[in-house]
Amino acid sequence: MRPGTGSAPEGARLACPVCAGALRGDGGSARCAAGHSFDFARSGYLNLTVGGGSGRVGDSAEMVRARGAFLAAGHYEPLAAALARAAVESAAGSGAGEGEGGVVGGPDRACDDPGVLCEIGSGTGYYLDAVARALAAAGRAPAAAVGVDLSKAAADRAARDHPDAALVVADAEEAIPLLDASASLCLSVFSPRPAAELGGVVRPGGTLLVALAGPRHLERLRERLGLMAVGEDKLERLGERLSPWFEPAGASAVEHALSLSEEDARNLVLMGPNARHAPDLTALAGGHADRASVTLAVFRRRSNPAVY
């Protein structure tokens, strides 16, 4: 995907945001057959936003910096490892990977078309990279690893940190810029989950892995700073929204203790939506102890969805 390398983005199965045609590499840009063209940024990401946009705002450079520092400290390594295991199990057709419509990346697919690995709201590319590396190590490498994020700052950081991935700026809630049924696996980690868009890009038998904050996730931090609460029925409501296209294929809890320095705790707050509400971070002086409690849910794309 990098401009100037001669590597075209065909493996990424990117779709033109104007006409939905396939995008092809053309030097420092990507172009569809209809002639719509989009330039690569210097760092290598591709901006596929068009028009005035929806008004939604991506993460700021400060939020991206905080996220990069927090994740680099290893506090969410257990979640990255759990996502990687679930992805490999799904690709191998075991555990959470079994379901309707065949095996993702199994014998009927592995020698044919491994499909794209895509993360919605990919941020710095931390989880995308962990899953891509695990799949490659298991002999199940995707055709491409594609990260989609609304934030130019996030895409720029991810492109610099993970040059083997295809990083795209786009509003996934409006349209995921992938060709129909091109993804064998999609990730959504604390990120948007646009059901109809996901149903369009994930191929029949493909997998959607979703990481949701549980009701007890960062409970002490939320109490300490008066942050937003986490709903009790998030997984149930998500399953209902996804049900026309996806069926549930298992869920598990990823829980572990967190011992954070003052800087780590500040980065944890500033890397997410709470940063926009100017919380009083002086309460974090001396550090913070808490618990991560995340639900990892697996959904399988139905062969015959109820709606299209």
Per-residue pLDDT tens digits for 254-273 = 999 999 999 999 999 999 88
Q: What is the CATH number of the domain that holds 131?
A: 3.40.50.150
61 contacts 271 by C-beta, under 8 angstroms: no
Give me the phi and psi of 295, to 5 degrees please.
Answer: -95, 125
Mean of pLDDT values over 167-195:
96
Q: Helix, strand, or coil here: 269? A: helix
Q: How many domains does the chain have?
A: 1
Q: Is residue 19 part of a domain?
A: no
- pLDDT reported for residue 53: 64
Q: Is residue 308 part of a domain?
A: no
* Residue the block writes with tokens 């390398």: 5
Q: Is residue 15 part of a domain?
A: no
- Indicate the helix (H) or strand (E) that contains 241: helix 234-242
Q: Is residue 205 part of a domain?
A: yes
Distance of alpha carbon 274 from alpha carbon 286, whole angstroms: 20
Per-residue pLDDT tens digits for 120-179 = 999 999 999 999 999 999 999 999 999 999 999 999 999 999 999 999 999 999 999 999
pLDDT interval class at 200 (50, 70, 90): very high
Q: Which domain holds residue 297?
A: 44-301
Per-residue pLDDT tens digits for 71-105 = 999 999 999 999 999 999 999 873 333 333 332 33
Pairing of strands 144-149, 166-169: parallel
What does the DSSP 8-state code read for residue 190? S
Distance of alpha carbon 91 from alpha carbon 177, whole angstroms: 23
Q: List the beta bridge partners of residue 40.
A: 46
Q: Is pLDDT of 308 > 80?
A: no
Q: List the beta bridge partners of residue 168.
A: 46, 148
Q: How many CA atoms lie within 13 A of 35 on its CB side?
A: 0
pLDDT interval class at 55 (50, 70, 90): confident
pLDDT interval class at 304 (50, 70, 90): confident
Q: Is residue 248 part of a domain?
A: yes
- pLDDT reported for residue 10: 62
Q: Is residue 1 part of a domain?
A: no
Per-residue pLDDT tens digits for 96-132 = 333 333 323 333 444 478 999 999 999 999 999 999 9
- pLDDT reported for residue 8: 44
Higher local confidence (pLDDT), 7 or 177? 177
Which pTM value belongs to this model? 0.90
- pLDDT reported for residue 5: 41
pLDDT interval class at 278 (50, 70, 90): low
What does the DSSP 8-state code read for residue 165? S
Q: Is residue 119 part of a domain?
A: yes
- Alpha-carbon distances, residue 195 vs 50, 121, 185, 238 (angstroms): 22, 14, 14, 9
pLDDT interval class at 279 (50, 70, 90): confident
Q: Is residue 164 part of a domain?
A: yes
